[in-house]
Structure 1
Amino acid sequence: MGRPCTTERTEFFGLRFVVFGWKIKNHKPQTVNQKPLNFRIGQGYDVHQLAEGRPFWLGGIVVPHTHGGVGHSDADVLIHVICDALLGAANLRNIGFHFSDKDPQYKGVDSKLLLRKVLEMVREKGYEVGNLDATVVLQEPKLNPHIPVMKTCLAGVMGLDEETISIKATTSEHLGFVGRKEGVAAFCVALIFKV
């Protein structure tokens, strides 16, 4: 494969490490003339304001709560970040590009429909979903009791095994707009592969 070309001694929190750099024989950087990669990674990020008296759509289900997301669609922040991660992985821009909040046909739309359309676009490019890893940042309510139902719902919409979908929940430790219970944020990383 190669041989060590550099050796560096470093200290980190009082522990000493020896780090080796490797020189790969005949390695050339990827160029535009090479075949596209079989695996691609995308990431998504979204936030939505929360308002009293609205349904709280998250992961394709309504989570019981006094507040819900504000948005042009149903404001399902989890589905939106999944869409953005998949679109990013396939180099297809983002959800706002394809489903503009200025377009009246998407007013109040069920985000599961958007997710289906995104999957069609990704699959038309010859890719399939490897796995998703999403995190929802929300002060309240606690989401852990609802995550299994979200996974079942999303797996059904996407035609995937539930094991390919990871959903985690955390708080912001009472910091920022999430900590003040003014909104919800979410992140997602998606792996897709060529079929």
Structure 2
Amino acid sequence: MPGIPRTGIGWDSHRLVADPLRRLVLGGVDLQHSHGLLGHSDADVLAHAVIDAVLGAAGLDDIGAHFPDTDAAFKDADSMALLREVVARVAAAGLVVANVDTTVIMERPKLAPHRDAIRTALADALGVPPSAVNVKASTGEGLGFVGRGEGVAALAVAVLVAP
């Protein structure tokens, strides 16, 4: 329906590994850490959650349908480039991103020093001002795979509107 905001939710998680070839990248920003995220692409859990939230709001399936991990073309893919592609596909469907709210769940490193850089990088990829992107952080409080420092998870909500 025209004029009605459309909301989508996205979630992703990736394992942390002690592999010098794997980076810890969140929302397009490299964080210095002893471990990196394991995945077919660059494993940017935050970008992946945002992609799924945007696709969900547009009713365009999910990240795996558009960029399958069985396709060698997406091996080590830049997730921010994938996000830009999703924004273009959503625009072709007659929608634009209004705002995105995210939460990153990890024990270490602390996200606060990187929050503004992540917000700016996501806003650039989404084609919105940084004020339309929120980046929050939480921990696992010692519980589960996040609490044990085995992985990182991210959650995102996106609102799309017809321009």
TM-score normalised by the shorter chain: which range applies? over 0.9
Q: Can you list the C-alpha shifts for 1:65-101, whole angstroms capped at 9, x where unaligned?
A: 0011100000000000000000000000000110000
Counterpart-to-counterpart distance in 1, 2:124 and 2:8: 21
Are 1:41 and 2:24 matched, yes or no? no
For 1:90, the equivalent position in structure 2 comes to 58
For 1:15, the equivalent position in structure 2 comes to none
Query: For residues 33-182 of structure 1, what are the structure 2 equivalents within 5 Å?
Result: 35=1, 38-52=4-18, 53=20, 54-182=22-150
Counterpart-to-counterpart distance in 1, 2:7 and 2:137: 21
Structure 1 gap segments, 5+ residues each: 1-34
Which protein is richer in strand relative to its size? 1
Deviation at 1:194, TM superposition (A): 1.0
Counterpart-to-counterpart distance in 2, 1:87 and 1:104: 22
Q: How many residues align?
A: 161
Deviation at 1:37, TM superposition (A): 5.7
Deviation at 1:159, TM superposition (A): 2.1
Counterpart-to-counterpart distance in 2, 1:188 and 1:66: 26
SS of the residue 1:157 aligns to: helix
Counterpart-to-counterpart distance in 2, 1:77 and 1:41: 20
* Pairwise CA RMSD: 1.0
- Which stretch has the larger CA shift, 45-54 or 83-92? 45-54
Query: What is the percent sequence identity of the aligned residues?
Result: 47
Which protein is richer in helix relative to its size? 2
TM-score, normalised with respect to structure 2? 0.96
- Name which structure has the greater RCO, CA cutoff 8 Å, separation 6+: 2
- Structure of larger gyration radius: 1
TM-score, normalised with respect to structure 1? 0.80
